[in-house]
Every structure is written in C-alpha cells, then in structure tokens.
Chain A
C-alpha cells in the first residue's frame, strides 16, 4: 500500500492532472510533448547497443561486494615475496624470478583466473535470469549478440584490471629478491608474457563461464567442479584426456621451464610413476583458446536468442 510519502513533492506543470479522480470518470491528463507522435527515438547501431550492454555490466560488476573480496584475494600474492624476504632463508627465496614465476603460474593463472571468470563471467547472464530481469532486456530492440558481447567486454575489463594490477605488484614485490629487476628488459618481457597469457586465459575461461551461466542454474558450482575438479583430474590421467581441458592450452603458452613440463611425475598411494605430457605449441594454444571463447559466446548468444527466460512460467498466468 502506498503512503503519503510516495507522492511527489511537486508535480510538473506538463503532467499535472487537470482534474482529480471523482467517481467513475478518470481525470483528464495533459501529456508532455515528447510522448506525442512526431517525436521518434533515434536508435543507434550495433556498437551503441554493445556499448550500452558493456556500460551497464561495468556498473553492475563494480558495485558488487564480491569484487572487493575478489580483489583482496587476488592481491594476496603481493605479500608473499615480501614475507619471504623477511621470514625465509631458503634457496627458493633467493631467486626473485622463481618466486614470481611460481606465484603467477600457481596462483594468478591456475587459481585466480578461473575464479574471477566463474564469479564474474558466470554471473553475467545468470544474474539476469536469477533476478528475473531478462524480460526487460529481451523486450528491448538490442541484438542478443551485442548484449552478450557487451557484457563479456565488461567482464574482461574488470577481471583484467584486477589480475594485471595484482601481477604487476607481485612482480615489483618479487624484485626485492635477487635475479629479478623491474629495470631488466628480459624480466619485463617475462612480465608482459605472463600478462598476455592471463588475458588469453581470461578470454577462454570467461567465455566458458558465460556459457555455463546461460545454460545452467548453478554456474559457479558446475564451474568449480569442471575447472578445479575435472581439470586437475585430467592432468593426472595418463593419455590424451588433458586435451579436453582449458588448462592444457594455457600451459602451452607459459614461457619458462617448458622442457621440464613434458615429463610429469605423479605421486600416488601405490607409488610414483611418470606420464608423458604432449605439448601444444603456443600458436595452436592461442587458436584453441580463442576458439573456446568464440564457441562459448556463440552458444550463449544462441541460448539467449532461443531460450525462454521469462519469469513466472510455472504460475501459468
């Protein structure tokens, strides 16, 4: 029920009811000029729609409390090199290069990239389905592809800023150790290489997460099972199963220790054994990762175009 507070303090001269409701005759109302015929709306093109989607998603993403949480978690690796400098005297801590590489590969690329993809990319479409705001969007003349791609662009901007800034700070923090310098061009190239890998990984993981969000009701749960469960398991199984993971192709882009990666020793309760790992070249890896992104986004666009996302279906109203 409305209260007196709902009523506006003042009303526009254009829209003030001329008479108040009395009996069964509705009051006469004068409408503003913009509502009258002859005031057509100028509709922008595909890029305008894409920008609209991207802008809206950027605002939605940056307002989420989980962004602050994710940023804090993503920045934790920055503290590790500093802590090692003060607390550890192991050989590992003497090499800034090794500290940086381990942190970036084991945390930024293996953990944070899929995590950001799931928590932000996975919710890009899923949130509108959950909050039942899809009917507003689907009744607008916005091309579905522009809407999906715009949202994906917003995800890429936010996730890249978080990951790249964290990686750069980790690089700077790692440079307090020997064998890594922020002025050494080779080390800077290493940093750039990892940043590039991260962006490509975000594209693939993000695309896949958006697809999960459009197709499943629990994208984060399924995503964790697939990206952290299945991917880890697949790398342990002998054979070519790991080709069915995104991680396989991201590993193909990693810059250092490549020769050491083709033989993996697996420790089990029954003993240790070795499995041969078939490497994928960097070029093929990039192609496959971009393909994963493209196919995922295409499937998402098809889903948004074809599926019925309107709310209250069960009500039968």
Chain B
C-alpha cells in the first residue's frame, strides 16, 4: 500500500543554506507531529510536500505521486501556513470563499463551504469583518477554516497553535483528534513539544534540516538508550533515598530538589527494581517515581545534544 507521504533522500538548499538534508521519511499515521526548533526545516519540508518548492535533490511523494503542480494531489490536501498573510482588505468569509473557488467549487458550493468552515472554527459571528480587525487567534482560526473547507484527506498544519489562548489550544487539540478520528491524516508542525504530546505520540524529530528520529516517543527513547535515562523520585528524605544509587556505576548523575531528586542512569531497570524494593520495605518515605524522560523535551534534548 502506498504511504501517504514518502520522501527519499529529500534535500532542499537555498544558496549556501541547507534547509532540508537527505530526508528519508514515511508518514502514514493519522496524526504525526513534526517537531524541531526554529530553523529545523519543518516548514520547508511541508512546502516541499505541498509542491511549493522543488527538491534540490531526492523526491517527495504524496499519495504515491509528486505534488508539484499536480492537481489530483492538491485536490486532496489542505494547508494552514504558519505566516499571517491574507488577501488585502478581505473579510474572513471572503478569504475562505475565494480560496474555495480556487478549489474548483461553484459559487453556491463555495459560499456554503465557507460558512460551514467558519462555523467549525467558531468564526461565524466575525466572518464578515475585515481580517485586519482580527486578533492573532482569530486569524489562526480563519486559516484553519480555509484549510478544512474542502474536506481534504491530508491536512498540513504549520504551527497551528500560534496565537491561540489556552481555550483555543484545547479546542484545536480536540479538533485535530476529531479530524483524525474521522479518517483525515494530519501533519502538525510545532517547536513546542508539549503541544505535540497533547495530540499524538507519533513524532518526527527534525534538527538542522535532518531527521533525527521518527516513531513513538517511547520507541525513540529506547533507540537512544546509550544516553542516561532520567528518573525523578519524590521523597521526604531525598539524600537518604539517593544514597544507595551513588554506588551504582550506571548512575551518571543525581540532582537534588526540595523533596525529590533526579538521577540519570544507563540501566533504568536496575534502578526501578531498587526503588521498588525500597518502597516495599517502606524506606525513606518515597511518595512518587516518574520517568522524567517520557516528555518529548528530554528526548529532543538528548538527540540534539
């Protein structure tokens, strides 16, 4: 079966700047988080996938086909760009309506689809106001509306949480999950790991144009087990609790907090066993043990260190 998105040795450079470097990537999950700091090549990858850029080397295939100027592919794709650019003096409704018309819709169909999309993104009450009067969050909503308006199969959202308030973010998370639930494939880019963690554990980590890792967060974590795992232990007497681990050769560091400590170890299983035994014996009032590495931030930090 053809992968939704597949790249082979995909590279893109602008003069001396290498934006995407030898990227081999397959995206087939319902929601994939494209993760990396600013300048990692996330937006360039999306633009390559949309056919906005010509690859300098390699190829990208969407639905098994090259996307650039390919009407059959573009018909099945929605795109919400990162930048806040709109048609001059257009209202939110007009913006979505005209882009619907460019999708090949007739006037009536484009109008209905624009109204539906504005309603979906909760912009109905302001859709006839000029976009210049919109807040950042409302601009974000109207961009999402135009991307969804033609009911695409594949949706690219480039930094969709930008400018949204906490409630708006919650709504965005739920919208993305609902879209995936009805069968839409969503690729979300973000440089904020927490945002991606909220909606998917399937990520592609990018850094300086290269793919660092792809898969589930835990799988990625397993791949890098040569790096110490971090375990956070909450205890009333952290120094006493940490004492047995100082002797362990696999423990590389221990950082103390008020009523907790974080240890980094190359052999997490051994440490968990030791902690388990201490808890069974009721020693040192251990009240919580958590894997500090499960957050994407720590995985990302390890990989880019």
- Which A residues are closer than 8 A to B by beta carbons? 1-3, 5-12, 14-15, 17, 20-21, 24, 26-32, 34-37, 39-45, 48-49, 51-53, 55-56, 59-60, 63, 127, 131-133, 135-144, 147, 305, 308-317
- Which B residues are closer than 8 A to A by beta carbons? 14, 17, 19, 38-44, 47, 50-54, 69, 71-72, 74-75, 77, 79, 81-83, 85-89, 94, 98-99, 101-106, 109-110, 113, 116, 119-120, 122-126, 135-138, 146, 148, 150-151, 163-171, 173-179, 182-184, 197-199, 209
Contact A135/B173 with A28-B178, A41-B150 known, Cβ cut-off 8 Å: no
For the complex formed, measure the closest distance between the CB of A48 and the CB atoms of chain B, giving whole angstroms: 6
CB-CB under 8 A from A34, the residues of chain B are: 113, 116, 151
Question: What 20 new A-B contacts, CB under 8 Å, besides A2-B164, A142-B104?
Answer: A2-B168, A6-B137, A8-B124, A21-B167, A26-B170, A40-B151, A43-B103, A44-B105, A48-B105, A52-B104, A127-B88, A132-B83, A133-B86, A136-B99, A139-B77, A140-B99, A141-B71, A141-B72, A317-B19, A317-B39
**Cα(A314)–Cα(B19), bound, Å:** 9
For the complex formed, measure the closest distance between the CB of A225 and the CB atoms of chain B, giving whole angstroms: 26
Q: Which among B50, B52, B101, B179 is the interface contact of A31 at CB below 8 angstroms?
A: B179
Asked whether, in the complex, the Cβ of B98 is within 8 Å of the Cβ of A56, the reply is yes
CB-CB under 8 A from B171, the residues of chain A are: 17, 21, 27, 29
The residue on B at minimum CB distance from A147 is B102
Asked whether, in the complex, the Cβ of B98 is within 8 Å of the Cβ of A52, the reply is yes
The residue on B at minimum CB distance from A4 is B165
The residue on B at minimum CB distance from A65 is B89
Asked whether, in the complex, the Cβ of A139 is within 8 Å of the Cβ of B178, the reply is no
Asked whether, in the complex, the Cβ of B151 is within 8 Å of the Cβ of A39, the reply is yes
CB-CB under 8 A from B150, the residues of chain A are: 41
CB-CB under 8 A from B151, the residues of chain A are: 34-35, 39-41
Asked whether, in the complex, the Cβ of B104 is within 8 Å of the Cβ of A32, the reply is no
CB-CB under 8 A from A137, the residues of chain B are: 99, 102
Q: Which among A35, A59, A316 is the interface contact of B179 at CB below 8 angstroms?
A: A35
Asked whether, in the complex, the Cβ of B75 is within 8 Å of the Cβ of A138, the reply is no
CB-CB under 8 A from A305, the residues of chain B are: 69
CB-CB under 8 A from B166, the residues of chain A are: 21
Asked whether, in the complex, the Cβ of A315 is within 8 Å of the Cβ of B198, the reply is no
Q: Which among A44, A60, A308 is the interface contact of B52 at CB below 8 angstroms?
A: A308
The residue on A at minimum CB distance from B153 is A37
Sample (13) of A-B pairs whose CB atoms are under 8 Å apart: A1-B163, A2-B135, A3-B165, A10-B125, A15-B119, A20-B170, A35-B182, A35-B184, A41-B113, A44-B106, A48-B106, A141-B103, A312-B83
The residue on B at minimum CB distance from A317 is B43
